[in-house]
Amino acid sequence: MIEIPKDKLPNHIAFIMDGNGRWAKERNLPRLMGHKEGALVVERISETAFNWGIKYLTFFAFSTENWKRPREEVEGLMKLLDESIDKFKDKLIKNNIRLKIIGNIEALPDYLQRRIRYVIEETKNGKDRILTIALNYGGRWDILEAVKKILNEVKSKKFSLDDLNENTFSSFLSTYDIPDPDLLIRTSGEFRISNFLLWQLAYTELWFTPKYWPDFNEEDLKLACIEFSKRKRRFGGLDNNA
């Protein structure tokens, strides 16, 4: 068990799981093997974080830009996502965890869309914790979709622009029913957020590690949470000692 006071733990951790392909390449393995190993890490890290009392986890699994990758890799990723969601289903239900998917799932293969809708329905009563997977997701896409929804609401006179503020705008984003991340973890040594949760990460603490995602483990998660617990989150204001 992690030795950090519960009120010092992040409530919501988001992950950019980078380095699967490079991990495989360094071992002379197909890139897809790196993604398969990465899927196992998602399972282990989720179980650990939820056991610590963290309530929200969000994983960036496939971005709107990832379609540019070789067709064979993309097709393999789609099948792996389908298998992984199916595999995790029973564990999610047993542990009262709700699965949430953000992104444009309409562009995903039909079989994956069916799997997603089925597991979302099966886990909809999970109230304690939420596992969010970003599939075919981009932060700019999310913001543009929110703008379109607002314009449609204004056009149909269901919403007034006079009521538009940061809170009401957030209610039109795909993450409308979960809090913004407190901590973002990115692996593989890259120092960017790569079009992930652009609006939601405004005041998120960032933590980077050179490790590839398949090598990321519970001890790394612990180190990130310890670092988070030491940071002062002022949200633009001053603390009592300033």
Residues present in the chain in total: 242
Told to judge if 128 belongs to the known catalytic residues of this protein, a careful annotator would answer no
Identify the active-site residue in 18, 142, 180, 182: 18
Can you tell me the distance from the alpha carbon of 89 to that of 26, in angstroms, rounded to the nearest whole number?
Answer: 32
Catalytic residue among 7, 20, 66, 82: 66
Which residues lie closer than 8 Å to 183 by C-beta, 6 or more apart? Answer: 10, 12, 13, 14, 204, 205, 206, 207, 224, 225, 228
Residue 207 in contact with residue 189, Cβ under 8 Å? no
- Measured at the alpha carbon of residue 179, what is the angle toward residues 173 and 184, in degrees to the nearest 5? 95
Distance (Å, whole) CA 36 – CA 9: 29
Identify whether 18 is a catalytic site residue: yes
Active site residues: 18, 66
